[in-house]
Structure 1
Amino acid sequence: MRVALFLTCVNDTLFPETGKATVRLLRRLGHDVEFPAGQTCCGQMHLNTGYRRQAVPLVTAFEETFAPYDAIVTPSASCAAMIRDWHPRLAPSSAGTAASAGRRVHELSEFLVDVLGVTDVGAYFPHRVTYHPTCHSLRTLRVGDRPLRLLGEVRGIDLRELPDADECCGFGGTFALKNSEVSAAMCADKVTAVRGTGAETLCAADNSCLAHIGGALTRTRAGVRTLHLAEILASTEQAPA
């Protein structure tokens, strides 16, 4: 199986360690991962701000860049949802090709559980962790409990349940800018829930949401760090023999 990594613009620009962790993890599981240099944005930012026409070339470019691969793995639920749900609608003339690409795109937890059939990835992370299911992973991709099943198999982890986990953190892309007061209030509720778990680490499948919540955690000096799911699953922190 030929596997490609779609890193996404946000991760490439701001969170490169997430991409590195994804590659380490998949290689540890026996799968080589290619990084097509021609990859660009999936078009989500354009769509969300009303530039649908400008997003179409990005859809076409994605199809061409990832055409040779059997599976496309991305550490971003929101971008996976964009490709799977919106690409066929944005480019109706090539909807069949876009749909084919969408079927080959897998958010990381989907790929591990559904394609590779594993939940124990050999990780070791001896810390208190709580998991926030982001809106795209929860409502569009419907990943369900896959991330929690993966985290539950991590050795040493103390996994804490997050109250009202399915509540949005308030990020929502440009929503956080256009509706800043509402967004901040939603984020404050999420921070209160996170702090109430006593967790040292907040985990999610989207770094955009982690950046939003993480900023509030830092400003309130909560002492809680944020880590992408891939980084915890790739961790083998001096695992005991």
Structure 2
Amino acid sequence: MNNLYIENQSYIHLLDPRIKLMFFIVSAVIVFFLDLTGMFFYSANILLILIISKSYLNVFKVKYIMLSIFIFSFLIWSFANSTGTKLIGPFTTEGVEEGLLTGLRLISLMSIGIIMISTTKIEDLSIALIKFGLPYKLVFSFTTTIRLIPIVLDSVEDIRNAQKLRGIGNINRKASPIKKLKENVPLLIPIIAKTLKRTNDLAIALEVKCFGIMDTRTQYNSISFSKNDGLFLVIIFVMISISLYIRGL
């Protein structure tokens, strides 16, 4: 897994990166104006986009992280809202609805981010951010971080396998979550050390190549809007309008 980008020629892949960024930004605002019913409809559409673009393949890689975030946010908000109709124990109907709504908001935004990364090459995403007026150095830092994510995950797996061969970190699947967490602690030091070394090597390479010495830069690739982008904007508008209309019912 050396790249989060999924090679495909789906409709979502062919969209301009700026349209996908706009979709993410607009969604980050809209989801906070939707109620539970509207959020279910909005999430269902995002799920459809995940399937069309095959971005769900990357969702599987982080499914436990997403599930943990959903459960954590659901429990926190369910406990926080203790007013209303009692359901079970400390849970109330209003609290459970608020917990589900918050969980869906977070998972939906994460899913849109995964769609953008899975269907957009890093080079094109970099150009899109620069065209939005962001400084190149900031864009480079952001895109480099995205590139390093799969590399770090591969390093974690390599270190875990190496330690298992030495008889360290053979975690019992039936062990409690706390015990599993404790048994993963020995992985932290080699992971951090390897990440810092890789970061230092990258910094040296950038200095050798005089990174940032030029104020303006040229790009090998180019991006442009097409009819598909206009159609997708219409689809987004309709999706948001229906979600807001459902909220008003």
What TM-score results when the alignment is normalised by the length of structure 1?
A: 0.29
Structure (1 or 2) with the larger CA radius of gyration: 2
Which fold has the larger relative contact order, with Cα–Cα distance below 8 Å and residues 6 or more apart in sequence?
A: 2
- Between structures 1 and 2, the one with greater strand share: 1
- Between structures 1 and 2, the one with greater helix share: 2
